Structure 1
Amino acid sequence: MESKVIKNYFDKQFELRYFEMDKFGIASPSTILILLEETAADHCYSINHSLYQLEKQNIGWVLISGFLQMERYPHYKEKIIIRTWLSEYSAIKGFRENIIYDEQGNIIGRAKALWVFFDIERRRPVQILDDIKEKWSFCNRESINYNISKKIESIDNSDFKLKFKVNRYDTDMNKHVNNLRYLQWVTESIPDEIVDNYYLHSIDGRFIAEAHYGQTVASLTKKNKESNTFMHSVKVEGTDKVCATAKTIWKKKETRTHNKM
């Protein structure tokens, strides 16, 4: 995997591995989210403010909202480049932009996220270090014109529901349930006929409150009036506490062959 800084951008190349594939030899949505997070982490490392260095100061980055849109998912052994940059800062928040390119330079995905600089022990936002802003700089270009600050309403009545216990491996270094886990909980509650015949074209998510180790969460999914569109809520079972809300849009899969080992 190669990384490089180009002006205000940061590029990281990945080669898709076997265990990151679904049964069709195509990368899963979870894989893409992992690679986006790895790119962001490496961008931190590149300016000598790695997540582990920040943790020693009891600070880190927490995802508040995010949007991912994929035109297609890469296949086994395909090389992709994720380009990331910061498009806007406030005192405590930053908007991270991402574009995903295939080997031919075609754009196959876009993502943007709102991150808050966070005091891990006190559980509250803090001001972003000036050195981070200076070294990262910013570019006011957007990867996609999409409002990720707009509220997504929670659902109470669902068409599909699954429950999950929060285990140790679900949490990250900030003592949060990892963002990846919410995506997995949401997609697990999608009916099989959708997952088998459609792909996740986009997901728009909001992270509202923490779920803790040992708790049980319920993933609620409701069909939207738009075709192949679903609304989601993740709640702590037995309470009114909403941890996350989301909207997903699914598109029909194209018939394609996949690489074999």
Structure 2
Amino acid sequence: MEKLEKKYTIKSHDCDESGRLKMSMLISYMMDTMSHLLDPCIKIEHAGWVVVNYQFDINKLPKFDDQITIKIDLCYYNRFFAYIKFLVKDLQENELVTINSQWILFDLLSRRMIELDSAKVGISDAQKIAKLPHFDRIKVLAGQEDFQRSYRVMYSDLDVNHHLTNGRYFDWIVNTIPRDFLNSHSMVAASIQFRKEILYDQSAVVTLTWNADHSVSYHTIKRDEQILTVAKISWVSDK
């Protein structure tokens, strides 16, 4: 099994106004760490890694000036999917965040999945299995939205795969939640499933639906009523 780790010091511009690391920036750190492991190994032209599922279990989000290490275990792959586990640790080796994720290798010209041949994508040390770990399907609460906001994909939102970068999805989602709530609550778990990419200049609507006690928020990102992304976030009060 291949392993990689990289150290980071949390910068002020990567934090929200409460001083906690933004989820979008945590994803950027993860992508940076992952790029050192997988990107140099790709032997296929016009190919890039695209995330399908994230599942975050959060003990504590790092804060401004914290020093962290992001470790990767490239655990499993099958014909089309790679399963990668990220660990975020502090200087004392305490586990702050655990992230399970599922990825595909994407042909950037045809916009189709590429079969994972370990000789071509550098994952020969990972275990090839027929069935990868399961990600629970996030329910969609259609017609029960408490709030929604519209966005359009700008040039600065794009990544090298020529679509909306996956960290920006979290920015869009978090921005549907009231400021007072965000400053008085902590995220303890989050799942996001990407069903269809969003391209340059496309518009999308992001929705927010609360459960009864506001401990869980459900979100969809959709265009013309087609659901592109779904997310579920669990919260606890800081009091």
- TM-score for both structures, normalised by structure 2: 0.90
| Alignment of structure 1 residues 46-57 onto 2, 5 Å | 48-49=40-41, 57=45
Aligned to 2:113: 125
| Alignment of structure 1 residues 26-41 onto 2, 5 Å | 26-41=20-35
Aligned partners of 2:209 and 2:218 also within 8 Å: yes
Aligned to 2:177: 190
Deviation at 1:227, TM superposition (A): 4.2
Give the Cα separation in 2 of the matches to 1:182 and 1:26: 18
Aligned partners of 1:60 and 1:117 also within 8 Å: yes
**More displaced stretch, 18-27 vs 58-67:** 18-27
Gaps of 5+ in 1: 1-6, 141-145, 255-261
| 2:9 paired with 1:22 | no
Number of paired residues? 234
Kindly report structure 1 stretches of 4+ aligned residues shifted beyond 4 Å.
Answer: 132-136
| 2:57 paired with 1:72 | no
| 2:147 paired with 1:155 | no
Aligned to 1:60: 48
Give the Cα separation in 1 of the matches to 2:238 and 2:72: 27
Give the Cα separation in 1 of the matches to 2:198 and 2:34: 23
Deviation track 1:219-250 (CA, whole Å, cap 9, x = no partner) reads 101012464101110011xx121110010011
**More displaced stretch, 18-27 vs 181-190:** 18-27
Identity of aligned residues (%): 19
Aligned to 2:87: 99
2:38 aligned counterpart, secondary structure: helix
Give the Cα separation in 1 of the matches to 2:193 and 2:151: 19
| 2:229 paired with 1:244 | yes
Aligned partners of 1:154 and 1:242 also within 8 Å: no
Deviation at 1:111, TM superposition (A): 0.1
Aligned partners of 1:63 and 1:116 also within 8 Å: yes
1:169 aligned counterpart, secondary structure: helix
